[in-house]
Each structure stands twice: as C-alpha cells, then as structure tokens.
C-alpha cells in the first residue's frame, strides 16, 4: 500500500524560504512519478512540479524559478523535496505530494495522473 507523508509546512514571512519533504513508502514500481500540488483558499488544486524515478523534473510554467523539486538517493526510503523561495502571500496553501505512474515516459502535471495522495501540509505566508 502506497503511503505519502508530507512534512515541513509552517508559517513564513513574505520573501522567505521554506522546504517541504514527502516520504513515500510502498512504491514497488521501478517507474514512478512523484509530484507536488497545492490548493489555496477558494482555489482548485494545482500542480507545482513532478519528478520521476530517474530524477527528471517537470514544472508548471507559473512555478518555474521559485520552486525546486528533488529527491533523495537513499534506497531504503523515497524522499521527495520541494524547496520554495521568495514566497508571497499568494503561496499560502495546503501542499500535497502525490504518486502515480508515467504515461509514455512522462510525468504529466495533472492531478488525474496521480492516484495516491498525502494528507497535505499547510504553508502560510504572511505579508
């Protein structure tokens, strides 16, 4: 059973940085996608970035530059990270990590491609 647990959320002032972690367990496929999404107040859940088993990354256009996705190299535990910088109040949201499978070798940034989700972690950016 795939389980995803996010951590690292919290409160930060505008202009600050924050790093999130996603610990994934139960992924048995050698090919997988892990992605970060977020859902702000009154907004739909939108994609931030994805990373595949080989470390190849994909970013939503509006997220390029301030967000960086990466993954750890430990074989025993799969950790995927999201580093965020120059945060603004509009980045306030619940941040989720999700797991899915590639489609034709690509980790597409659409939530329908991901069938396992974490509970989310709250990020609040104050002005």
Q: Are strands 121-126 and 10-13 parallel, antiparallel or unpaired?
A: parallel
Per-block mean pLDDT, blocks of 10 residues, the chain (127 long)? 96 98 94 97 96 96 95 86 97 98 95 97 97
Burial of 48 (0-12, 13-18, 19+ CB in 10 A): buried
Residue-by-residue DSSP string for 21-65: EEEEE----SS-EEEEEEE-TTS--EEEEEEETT--EEE-GGGTT
3-state SS class at 41: coil
The residues, any chain, with a CB within 8 Å of residue 124's CB and separated by 6 or more, are: 10, 11, 12, 92
Report the candidate in 55, 68, 47, 60 with the shortest Cα–Cα distance to residue 110.
47
pLDDT of residue 76: 76
């Amino acid at each position: 059973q795939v389980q995803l647990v996010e951590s690292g959320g919290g409160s930060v002032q505008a202009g600050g940085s924050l790093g999130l972690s996603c610990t994934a367990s139960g992924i048995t496929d050698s090919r997988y996608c892990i992605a970060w999404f977020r859902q702000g107040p009154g907004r739909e859940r939108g994609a931030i970035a994805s990373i595949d088993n080989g470390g190849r990354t994909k970013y939503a256009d509006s997220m390029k530059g301030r967000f960086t996705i990466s993954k750890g190299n430990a074989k025993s535990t799969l950790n995927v990270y999201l580093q965020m910088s120059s945060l603004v109040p509009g980045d306030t949201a619940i941040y989720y990590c999700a797991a899915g499978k590639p489609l034709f070798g690509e980790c597409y940034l659409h939530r329908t491609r991901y069938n396992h989700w974490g509970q989310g972690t709250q990020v609040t950016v104050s002005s």
